[in-house]
A and B are shown apart, each in its own frame.
Chain A
Amino acid sequence: MSHPPLLTLSGLTKAYPGVVANDQVSLTIGEGEVHALLGENGAGKSTLVKMIYGLVKPDSGTMTLRGTPYEPGEPREARADGIAMVFQHFSLFDALNVAENIALGMENPPPMRDLAARIREVSEAYGLPLDPFRTVGDLSAGERQRVEIIRCLLQDPKLLIMDEPTSVLTPQEVEILFQTLRKLKSEGTSILYISHKLEEIRALCDHATILRLGKNVGECVPAETSARDMAELMVGTTLQTPERHARDVGEVILDISGLSVASPSEFGTALKNLHLTVRRGEILGIGGVAGNGQDELLSVLSGEITTAADAVKFDGKAIGQMGPNARRALGVLAAPEERLGHAAAPDMSLTENALLTGAAREGLAQNGFLKWGAAKEFAETIIKAFDVRTPGPANAARSLSGGNLQKFVIGREVLQRPEVLVVNQPTWGVDAAAAAAIRQALLDLAAGGAAVICISQDLDELMEISDNFAALNEGRLSAPRPAVDLTVDEIGLMMGGSHGMEVAH
């Protein structure tokens, strides 16, 4: 093998106020190689790929593309040099159609009609069928990813960067994606694959670079390295798996039957004829690909969306028409997915954020007048009990890191002694230590006799903590099944299988 590597990074450094996102990172990607970039949330993976894609300029260090210096000033230049990227978030326009979305990612798009024909052609060739004239907002998460991939493929990239691509896919869809990627690789395209899912990397990648706290901490050949070794490189310490005590499952406490609601947002998902029951001491895991009704389900349970009274029953009592505070008074608590702006107000202090849901159950208000002293105490209790790293309760929520804020949000609900706790994506974007602490808290809560509904897209997490598992697919909920004896294939089918994708041929 004598030809030079496709892309070499050496000593890339990028600092932001208060944090060095990348510190002397070097790596080499060969022609036709699938290279994994592995690391926890906040390890600096995103910053690194943004530098490669020209969105961020490195403070120091050099990049070399096929032996010539490579300094993209903007994504346009990166694309011109054959580098394409599939983003994890934020890069599609809901109100525009597929073809328009794709045209926006190209330098010199052909006229719409030709482009539409090209889209059809390429999408068929790679087993990712797409109608160019559909509005992107109406597509499922998997289909939206197809739009991004096709957008890249139309430019014949030499290097395709994929940022956490499988977080929005069912196991079956992941398999199809891998076939597509292997086909690309066989055609000579290099792929930089970013993930924290070790099994995927072992299945797909030729080489892996591991980042921790912005530093390059190791390289390996994934197929020859155990998942455990990679995990320890990534996290830095040996991980402890949450302890699971045997639990007694009690009587049914929450009962949803025949629930159908429209989504409040334009491109949301309506819930269709939902049935579920949860018992005291049970953790019900609800899986599913993003955008299949998770937000709506949480809102229905928290009381942000009200429904017919007897569609939701708590302890035999119809609560469907109750608002969030009436439900809190009963003991039905929730923690939404979006930390900043939904579960917490970014610019408000932690004391005020403690008040946000704690007023009723913690007695933080009397006749409508606020007891600031009590609210501050409650905030301090949460900070202490959940090891939230912050100078104090007077600090704004937005000043906390994702993991710390999530611990605060979960802690705020857990400490209110819920009868039923509903959480959505409790460990999303959270570092491993915080994630473990949060899962442990949920397990302890159930052990104490509360019912927990954990909505998550992280299947490993759900398998780790839930007693029963159900999946959301296009607003429909599958019948719950005991989690212990489910196989990955069965889970995938519950999540909707491959959603009409084909295997690449």
Chain B
Amino acid sequence: MIRLEKRPQPSRAWSLATPLVAVLATMLFGGVLFAVLGKDPVEAIRTIFWEPLFGEFAFYYRPQLLVKGAPLVLIAIGLSLGFRAGIWNIGAEGQYIIGALTGAGVGLAFYPMEAFYIFPLMVLAGALGGWAWAMIPAILKTRFGTNEILVSLMLVYVAEQLLASMSLGLLKNPEGFGFPGSRNLQQYDSAHNAELIAGTGMHWGVVAALIAVIFAYVLLNRHMLGFQIRLTGEAPRAAKFAGVNPPRLILFCLGISGALAGLAGLFEVAGPAGQVSIDFNVGYGFTAIIVAFLGRLHPVGILLAGGLMALTYIGGDIAQGNLGLPAAAIQVFQGMLLFFLLALDLLTNYRIAIGKPEAA
């Protein structure tokens, strides 16, 4: 007979091991999935995890790792703060879009003027845009007790419509021959989030992501506010007893995650993507949820998880080209990873006992 026994305290070893075990289990079951799709599983796994790092064209893919990883880490860091406190912002995709719109909007407003302050202003506008979008669920939650999960998610669809409207209307490139989409910011020096060192993929977004990791680490481990965030997630009543002001915490967590998602959107639109277009968003806001959990809501973990998830994106692209693996298979693969991770988390707090319990 198999039973679960609650551990007297959480196991540190399992807490560190579960993400690794989850990745291995996902590789195994992902391999089965690929085999069912008629692909060589070993080859597919190798292509996804090995090719971008050490393959023939790694010099091209490695910078991509930073490009894809940075927005994921940036967003996931913000989400993780809220998740730790039991505040569920799942609308980061919307905040990402709005950040890109406000940031790009500010940049385009200055076009064609060249000035050093344009890009910093865009960064500010992007962060503010994402922040403001996240303030909607935050204020509705603190004022009316509205569920932030549903509101933030609904706002993703609203943001997507706004994005479409903007790329067809207000922000449309007047010289774009009627095609939807804004001017290309890559061709506008003052607004371009260019590579800081050519050929490395290193842009301001990567820098921002690293700063966010350090900031979150210090906040959670060394600061009262971080302690209050963790306390609220662990025991909301104890948090209140300890003097935490729940509405303020909600505003802070949703606000910061919105601002970080907005920043990610701005860096993307001004850099790798280059323009506001209908299909600008590719789901980073949702994948970041996986990244946050895979990193165990820990800043350093998120950094690693963001890298891993970026790897599956790039490797998935390669596998799509080389092996004809469908893009959706990678999405399933990522979903699977989250499943295994959450399920295996059990082992941190419970131990599995087989047979009759023995007296100690």
Q: Does B329 contact A (CB under 8 A)?
A: no
User: Which one of B111-119, B217-225, B308-316 is at the A interface?
Assistant: B217-225
Which of chain A's residues have a CB closer than 8 A to the CB of B227? 352, 355, 370
Query: Are B5 and A17 in touch, CB under 8 angstroms?
Result: yes
Interface stretch, picked from A85-93, A337-345, A452-460, is A337-345
Closest to A15 in B: B359
Interface 1/0 per residue, B228-244 and A, CB below 8 Å: 00110011011111110
Residues of chain B within 8 A (CB-CB) of A325 are 242-243
In B72-104, the 8 Å CB interface with A consists of none
How does the 8 Å CB contact mask read for B325-360 relative to A, with 1 for contact and 0 for none?
000000000000000000000000000010011111
Chain A residue nearest to B353 (CB atoms) is A17
Instruction: List, in ascending order, chain A residues with CB within 8 A of B245's CB.
Output: 323
Q: In the complex, which residues of chain A have a beta carbon less than 8 angstroms from the beta carbon of B238?
A: 341-345, 356
Does B169 make an interface contact (CB < 8 A)? no
Contact with B along A331-372 (1 / 0, CB 8 A): 000101010111111111000100111010000010011100
- Distance to closest chain B CB from A147 (angstroms): 27
Task: Check if B8 sits within 8 Å of A20, measured CB to CB.
Answer: no
Q: In the complex, which residue of chain A has the Cβ closest to the Cβ of B226? A: A370
* Residue on B nearest A394 in the bound complex, by CB: B9
Interface flag for B321 (CB, 8 Å):
no
Q: Which of A230-238, A252-260, A395-403 contacts B (4 or more CB under 8 A)?
A: A395-403
Q: Answer yes or no: B10 CB below 8 A from chain A CBs.
A: yes
- Also in contact, A324 and B242, with CB within 8 A (given A348-B234, A352-B227, A355-B227): yes
What is the size category of the interface that chain B forms with chain A? 20 to 34
Contact A395 B9 (CB under 8 A): yes
A-B contact count (CB 8 A): 88
- If the complex has contacts A324-B241, A325-B243, A345-B235, are A368 and B223 also in contact, measured as CB distance less than 8 A? yes
- Residues on B with C-beta less than 8 A from A16 are 357
- A369–B245 CA distance with the chains assembled, in angstroms: 18
Cβ of A214 to closest chain B Cβ, rounded Å: 10
> Which of A16, A17, A368 is the most central at the interface, judged by chain B CB atoms within 10 Å of its CB?
A17
Q: Is the CB of B10 within 8 A of A359?
A: no
- Flag if A398 contacts B224 (CB, 8 Å): no
Residues on the B chain within 8 Å of A368, using CB: 223-225
Q: How far is the CA of A399 from the CA of B5 in the complex (A)?
A: 13
A59 on the B face (CB < 8 A):
yes
Residues of B within 8 A of A365 (CB): 224
Contact B10 A396 (CB under 8 A): yes
Q: Which residue of A lies closest to B232 (CB)?
A: A345
- Smallest CB separation, A174 vs chain B (Å): 31
* Complexed CA–CA distance, A114 and B152 (Å): 49
| Interface 0/1 of A369-396, CB less than 8 Å to B | 1100000000000000000000000011
Contacts of A347 in B (CB 8 A): 9-10, 234-235
A345 x B231 contact (CB < 8 A): yes
Bound-state Cα–Cα, A370 to B227, Å: 9
A489 within 8 A of B: no
Q: Which one of A324, A343, A346, A395 lies within 8 Å of B234 (CB-CB)?
A: A346
B243 near A324: Cβ-Cβ < 8 Å = yes
Residues of B within 8 A of A59 (CB): 356-357
**Chain A, range 383-439, C-beta contacts under 8 Å to B:** 395-396, 398-399
A356 touching B231, Cβ below 8 Å: yes
Q: Is A156 an interface residue (CB 8 A)?
A: no
Contact call B8/A359, Cβ cutoff below 8 A = no
Which residue in chain B gives the minimum CB-CB distance to A327? B243
CA distance A348 to B228 in the complex (A): 12
Query: Which residue from A20, A359, A369 sits with its C-beta under 8 Å from B222?
Result: A369
Enumerate chain A residues within 8 angstroms of B360, measured Cβ to Cβ: 17-19
> Which residues does chain B contribute within 8 Å of A346, judged by CB atoms?
234-235
A398 to B224, CA, bound (A): 22
Q: Tell me, rounded to whole Å, the shortest Cβ–Cβ distance linking B29 to chain A.
A: 30
Tell me the chain B residues, 1-58 only, with Cβ under 8 Å from chain A: 5, 8-10
Separation of A435 and B241 alpha carbons in the complex (Å):
23
Interface 0/1 of A147-183, CB less than 8 Å to B: 0000000000000000000000000000000000000
Q: Which of chain A's residues have a CB closer than 8 A to the CB of B222?
A: 369-370
Contact between chains at B10 and A304 (CB < 8 Å): no
User: Chain B residues with Cβ under 8 A from A343's Cβ?
Assistant: 238, 241
Inside 8 A of B8's CB, which chain A residues have their CB? 18, 396, 398-399
- What's the Cα separation between A16 and B5 when bound, in Å? 9
Which residues of chain B are near A209, meaning CB under 8 Å? none
Q: Which residues of A contact B10 (CB under 8 A)?
A: 347, 396
Q: Does A190 contact B (CB under 8 A)?
A: no
Q: Which residue of B lies closest to A326 (CB)?
A: B243
CB distance from A78 to the nearest CB of B (A): 22
Chain A residues with CB under 8 Å of B359's CB are: 15, 19-20
Complex contacts, A398 vs chain B, CB 8 Å: 8-9
Chain A's closest residue to B242 (CB) is: A356
List chain B residues, Cβ under 8 A from A304.
240-241
Which residues of chain B from 229 to 288 have any CB-CB distance to chain A below 8 Å in the complex? Answer: 230-231, 234-235, 237-243, 245
Which chain A residue shows the least CB distance to B245?
A323
Report how far A16 CA is from B353 CA in the complex, Å.
Answer: 11
Which A residues are CB-close (under 8 A) to B242?
324-325, 356-357
A395 to B8: give the CA distance in the assembly, Å: 9
Known: A396-B8, A399-B8. A341 touches B223 (CB 8 A): no
Cα separation A352 to B228 with both chains bound (whole Å): 11
Determine whether A302 belongs to the interface, using a CB cutoff of 8 Å to chain B.
yes
Of B225, B241, B353, B357, which one neighbours A302 at CB under 8 angstroms?
B241
Given known contacts A304-B240, A341-B237, A341-B238, A348 and B357 CB-to-CB distance under 8 angstroms: no
CB distance from B224 to the nearest CB of A (A): 5
Give the CA-CA distance A390 to B224 in the complex, in Å: 26
Beta-carbon contacts under 8 Å, B190-229 to A:
222-225, 227
What are the residues of chain B within 8 A of A328 when measuring CB–CB?
A: 243
A352 — which chain B residues lie within 8 A by C-beta? 227, 231
**Chain B residues with CB below 8 A from A18, complex form:** 8, 360
Q: Which residues of B contact A342 (CB under 8 A)?
A: 235, 237-238, 241
Of all chain B residues, the one with the shortest Cβ separation from A400 is: B8
Q: CB distance A348 to B225 under 8 Å?
A: no
> What's the least CB distance linking A421 to chain B, in Å?
14
A341 near B9: Cβ-Cβ < 8 Å = no
B346 to chain A minimum Cβ distance, whole angstroms, is: 14
Give the complex CA separation of A340 and B241 in angstroms: 12
Residues of B within 8 A of A344 (CB): 235, 238
Q: What's the least CB distance linking A60 to chain B, in Å?
A: 10
A15-B359, A324-B241, A347-B234 given; name 7 further pairs at CB < 8 Å: A17-B357, A18-B360, A342-B237, A344-B238, A348-B230, A356-B231, A396-B9
The interface of chain B, by Cβ under 8 A from chain A, is 5, 8-10, 222-225, 227, 230-231, 234-235, 237-243, 245, 353, 356-360
> Please, could you name 23 A-B residue pairs with CB atoms under 8 Å apart, sorted by A?
A15-B357, A15-B358, A17-B353, A19-B359, A19-B360, A59-B357, A302-B241, A304-B240, A304-B241, A323-B245, A324-B243, A340-B235, A341-B237, A342-B237, A344-B235, A344-B238, A345-B238, A348-B230, A369-B223, A369-B224, A395-B9, A399-B8, A399-B9
Q: Which 3 A-B pairs have the closest CB atoms?
A: A396-B9, A325-B243, A15-B359
